[in-house]
């Protein structure tokens, strides 16, 4: 028994229930999870292969051979070890299962059918328009899918986040199972996850690797060399089991061993054959991602179609150990004119939010002293997760924690979040509610130079489906927006600044997502300056310089970059005729493009002038950097004077 799983019991072995297993018409029967023997499980494996073949044939697309190799692994899991209530996918005691090799979705859907969650009729809607059974699984369609998969190398990292939740936060003895393919073990994210799981001693995590030797275009790097994989996992302190992935008794013993292993995560390296059971495709190259050439012949070779249903064992009653308290949020207060970096304000606000909400957790990439997540870590250490310099695992942990009901804030330098963009993209497909905060944004960070400067982050996050992108300019705005992010859906991103900036808003100011603030305006305004964050302060200074020269300009704080405040921008365009965006970001995809979004539905497009970072910065002071990029107060004022002179000439 696993000392960390006191509520788990070994599967009960029983007699084979007699049923017709001949080829021909679909036959039916029932088996109870645990009350099965090797013949039962082998028969279930054949059924999962047949249904994978049938689903792909009905769709005329899909990956049946990748499903067939893992069918016995799935059959033993479903028939003897998974604890899951399909009627209550939110049951706190349910085991979690992630199909990291998401292209093998026919196998997953065949398993759902065997568990009675899907009908045979729905199985055959695979990949059709309007079907829940998409080409790669997504939780938006099916309640039993934990997260979207299909981009290889992501299932194990997300599973680590879930296992962390179970072990450190929920303290519920569910097991996290993740099925990987051997091809995806070439992904660096797999090894970020492997090291993190070993370091955290996640003995509630079991990875099952379907080592079927063949990838998409031919053999994998290590083919059937299980030792090559074993050595790597052992180096990260995993308990390693090597088996024949088609020997159901060996699979059963491996799953039992995983459940009784304490102090280490377990990986089961299963040697399998792609397309197992059908000679025309078994262990043959060039058969990846294609329906089988002769479906009827293949089904007959596999023993015929059956409709055996498995009564999957339900989890034991689970007591939720965590207490999600909800209290009054008291955000830090500052004096107007006080200078404070928004990264400092973020750390303070997040810590305050953690006092008010017990479901808020923080994840950092070993830069907590710079991002200021360390403030949260000192006050709420039990809800702080250090991912070290592994940004893919950072975001994956947030996704896994969110899937278990937590509200994660994951933080690193804005520039380094680009490494995890694919995880962000997949989080959006999952409908995952995660908060990402990027510090050290723009050239304003100063002497560290371009490798540390987030100059593409706004574009990256604006392009994510359903995302929210925020860029505060002062401490009170930062605190308000950090609190509002917790209530939003989808991927939320907030950009913070390294250097101190003056507080310009009072503590009672409200900031709605999708809003903006007009800080200067008048009937004589010649144009409108639109800025956010660092450049908002430069725009305000420029406006004062211009006022001394008799030029009135409007200034808009566009702190909500997505969604953008269309009404305010349209009014400014109508009343002043020209919008000038000023951003510490690349010209492409940032604030200027966000402003254009306000005019994409037929509204008249005003004259738009963009001031942005167009050069490759070097090392210099923050003031020198802003000047060199042409986005400091003097440069803004000079650009406005030229525009006004041009307008006079016209």
Q: What is the 3-state secondary structure (H, E, C) of 474-485?
A: CHHHHHHHHHHH
State how far the Cα of 584 lies from the Cα of 456, in Å rounded to an integer. 10
Q: What is the 3-state secondary structure (H, E, C) of 584-607?
A: EEECCCCHHHHHHHHHCCCCCCCE
3-state secondary structure of 239: strand
List 30's β-bridge partners, or say none: 309
Count the neighbouring beta carbons within 10 Å of the beta carbon of residue 644: 18
State how far the Cα of 354 lies from the Cα of 352, in Å rounded to an integer. 5
DSSP letter for 15, please.
P
Q: Cα 400 from chain centroid?
A: 8
The catalytic position among 391, 456, 538, 583 is 391
Helix (H) or strand (E) holding 384: strand 384-386
The encoded tokens of residue 628 equal 């060199």
341, 375 contact by CB (below 8 A): no
Give the chain's radius of gyration (CA, Å): 28
63, 55 contact by CB (below 8 A): no
Catalytic residue at 391? yes
Of 457, 448, 385, 395, whose CA–CA distance to 423 is shortest?
A: 395
DSSP letter for 420, please.
G
Q: Which residues contact 213 (CB under 8 A, 6 or more apart)?
A: 182, 219, 220, 223, 224, 273, 274, 283
Half-sphere exposure of 494 (CA within 13 A, CB side): 30
The encoded tokens of residue 58 equal 């009905």
The encoded tokens of residue 292 equal 């089988």
Where are any strands of DSSP class E within 83-157?
96-99
Q: What is the 3-state secondary structure (H, E, C) of 258-298?
A: HHCCCCCCEEEEEECCCCCCCCCCCCCCCCCCCCCCCHHHH
152, 187 contact by CB (below 8 A): yes
State how far the Cα of 380 lies from the Cα of 362, in Å rounded to an integer. 9
3-state secondary structure of 94: coil
192, 365 contact by CB (below 8 A): no
State how far the Cα of 369 lies from the Cα of 204, in Å rounded to an integer. 31
The encoded tokens of residue 463 equal 């392009």
The encoded tokens of residue 15 equal 């007699």
What is the per-residue DSSP string for 312-364?
PPPPPP--------B---------TT-EEEHHHHHHHHHHHHHHHBTTEEEEE
Of 559, 407, 534, 403, whose CA–CA distance to 480 is shortest?
A: 559
Count the neighbouring beta carbons within 10 Å of the beta carbon of residue 449: 15
* Catalytic annotation, residues: 391
């Amino acid at each position: 028994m696993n000392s960390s799983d006191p509520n788990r019991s070994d599967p009960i072995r029983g007699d084979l229930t007699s049923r017709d297993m001949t080829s021909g018409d679909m036959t039916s029967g029932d088996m109870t999870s645990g009350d099965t023997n090797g013949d039962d499980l082998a028969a279930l494996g054949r059924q999962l292969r047949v249904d994978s073949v049938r689903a792909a044939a009905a769709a005329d697309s899909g990956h049946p051979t990748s499903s067939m190799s893992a069918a016995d692994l799935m059959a033993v899991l479903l028939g003897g070890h998974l604890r899951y209530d399909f009627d209550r996918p939110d049951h706190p005691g349910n085991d979690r299962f992630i199909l990291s090799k998401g292209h093998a979705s026919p196998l997953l859907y065949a398993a759902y059918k065997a568990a009675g969650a899907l009908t045979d009729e729905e199985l055959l809607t695979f990949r059709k328009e309007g079907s829940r059974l998409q080409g790669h699984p997504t939780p938006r369609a099916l309640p039993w899918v934990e997260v979207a998969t299909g981009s290889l190398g992501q299932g194990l990292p997300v599973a680590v986040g879930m296992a962390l939740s179970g072990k450190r936060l929920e303290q519920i003895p569910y097991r996290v199972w993740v099925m990987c393919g051997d091809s995806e073990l070439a992904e660096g994210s797999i090894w970020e996850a492997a090291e993190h799981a070993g370091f955290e001693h996640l003995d509630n995590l079991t990875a099952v690797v379907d080592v079927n030797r063949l990838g998409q275009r031919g053999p994998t790097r290590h083919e059937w060399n299980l030792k090559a994989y074993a050595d790597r996992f052992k180096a990260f302190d995993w308990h390693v089991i090597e088996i024949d992935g088609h020997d159901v008794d060996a699979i059963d013993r491996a799953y039992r061993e995983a459940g009784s292993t304490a102090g280490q995560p377990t990986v089961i390296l299963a040697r399998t054959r792609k397309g197992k059971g059908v000679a025309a495709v078994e262990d043959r190259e060039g058969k990846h991602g294609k329906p089988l050439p002769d479906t009827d012949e293949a089904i007959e070779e596999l023993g015929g179609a059956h409709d055996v249903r498995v009564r999957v064992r339900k989890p034991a009653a689970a007591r939720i150990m965590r207490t999600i308290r909800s209290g009054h949020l008291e955000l830090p207060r500052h004096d107007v004119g006080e200078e404070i970096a928004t990264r400092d304000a973020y750390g303070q606000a997040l810590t305050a939010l953690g006092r008010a909400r017990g479901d808020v957790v923080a994840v950092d990439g070993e830069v907590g002293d710079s991002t200021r997540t360390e403030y949260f870590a000192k006050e709420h250490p039990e809800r702080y997760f250090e991912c070290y310099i592994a940004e893919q695992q950072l975001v994956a942990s947030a996704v896994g924690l969110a899937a278990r009901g937590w509200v994660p804030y994951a933080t690193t330098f804005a520039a380094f979040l680009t490494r995890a963009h694919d995880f962000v993209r997949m989080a959006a497909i999952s409908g995952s509610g995660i908060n990402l905060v990027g510090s050290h944004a723009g050239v304003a960070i100063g002497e560290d130079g371009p490798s540390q400067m987030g100059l593409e982050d706004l574009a990256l996050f604006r392009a994510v489906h359903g995302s929210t992108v925020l860029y505060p300019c002062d401490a009170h705005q930062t605190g308000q927006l950090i609190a509002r992010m917790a209530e939003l859906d989808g991927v939320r991103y907030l950009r913070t600044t390294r250097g101190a900036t003056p507080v310009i808003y009072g503590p009672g100011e409200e900031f709605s997502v999708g809003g903006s603030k007009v800080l200067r305006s008048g009937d004589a305004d010649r144009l409108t300056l639109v800025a956010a964050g660092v450049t908002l302060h430069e725009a305000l200074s420029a406006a004062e310089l211009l006022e001394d020269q008799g030029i009135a300009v409007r200034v808009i704080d566009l702190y909500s970059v997505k969604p953008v405040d269309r009404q305010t921008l349209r009014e400014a365009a109508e009343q002043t005729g020209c919008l000038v965006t000023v951003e510490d970001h690349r010209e492409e995809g940032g604030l200027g493009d966000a402003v254009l979004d306000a005019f994409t539905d037929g509204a008249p497009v005003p004259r738009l002038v963009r001031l942005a970072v167009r050069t490759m910065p070097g090392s210099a002071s923050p003031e020198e950097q802003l000047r060199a990029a042409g986005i400091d107060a003097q440069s803004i004022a000079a650009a406005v004077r030229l525009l006004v002179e041009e307008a006079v000439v016209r």
